[in-house]
Amino acid sequence: MSGFITHHGLRLEGPLQAAVWPGTPKAITQRLPWISAEVTLGREFRAREVFGIGESLTRHTPTLRQAAMRITYPVLYDGLEAVWAMCLGAQAKRLDDVLQPEEVDPGVYSHAWEWQEETTRTPARYDDGWHYGDAGLLYSQQYLRRATVVLATIEGVFELVSAYVVAWSAQGGRGEALLEVEYRGAILETDATTNTLAGLQALAMPLTDAVESHLVETRMGLYNSGVALDTDDAVTALSWQITCSRQGSERQSLSTGLLLEPPHAATAAEITATITLDHDTTLHALLSSQQAGASPYALQWIAVGETLAPGYSQRWECIIPYAILERPAPSLSQGIPQVTLSWIAELSPEIPAWLGSTSRHGRIRINGTNSTPTHGLYGGL
Indicate the pairing of strand 312-333 with strand 296-309.
Answer: antiparallel
DSSP string computed for 121-142: SEEP-TT-TTTSGGG---TT-E
Amino acid at 315: R
| pLDDT category of residue 250 using cuts at 50, 70 and 90 | low
The residue with greater pLDDT, 335 or 346, is 346
Inter-residue contact 233 to 224 (CB < 8 Å): no
| pLDDT category of residue 42 using cuts at 50, 70 and 90 | low
Inter-residue contact 234 to 220 (CB < 8 Å): no
The residue with greater pLDDT, 113 or 3, is 113
| pLDDT category of residue 67 using cuts at 50, 70 and 90 | confident
pLDDT score of 203: 93
| pLDDT category of residue 234 using cuts at 50, 70 and 90 | very high
Q: Let me know if residue 241 belongs to a domain.
A: yes
pLDDT score of 156: 84
Query: How does pLDDT run across 284-295, given as a tens digit for each residue?
Result: 556 555 555 568
pLDDT score of 121: 55
Lowest mean pLDDT among 197-206, 275-284, 313-322: 275-284
Number of independent structural domains in the chain: 1
Checking if the pLDDT of 247 tops 70, the result is: no
Q: Let me know if residue 378 belongs to a domain.
A: no
Cα→Cα distances 54→47, 51, 254, 275, Å: 20, 8, 35, 66
Domain of 109 in residue numbering reads as 6-44+61-370
pLDDT score of 174: 82
Q: Let me know if residue 77 belongs to a domain.
A: yes
Q: Let me know if residue 51 belongs to a domain.
A: no
pLDDT score of 2: 46
Q: Let me know if residue 380 belongs to a domain.
A: no
Please report, rounded to a whole number, the percentage of residues in the chain having pLDDT higher than 70.
70
Q: Let me know if residue 90 belongs to a domain.
A: yes
3-state class of 81 per DSSP?
helix
pLDDT score of 206: 82
pLDDT score of 135: 45
Q: Let me know if residue 203 belongs to a domain.
A: yes
User: Which of 38-42, 255-259, 296-300 is predicted most confidently?
Assistant: 296-300
Query: How does pLDDT run across 336-373, given as a tens digit for each residue?
Result: 678 888 999 999 999 899 987 667 778 999 999 999 99
Q: Let me know if residue 53 belongs to a domain.
A: no
Checking if the pLDDT of 131 tops 80, the result is: no
Average pLDDT, the chain: 79
The residue with greater pLDDT, 303 or 59, is 303
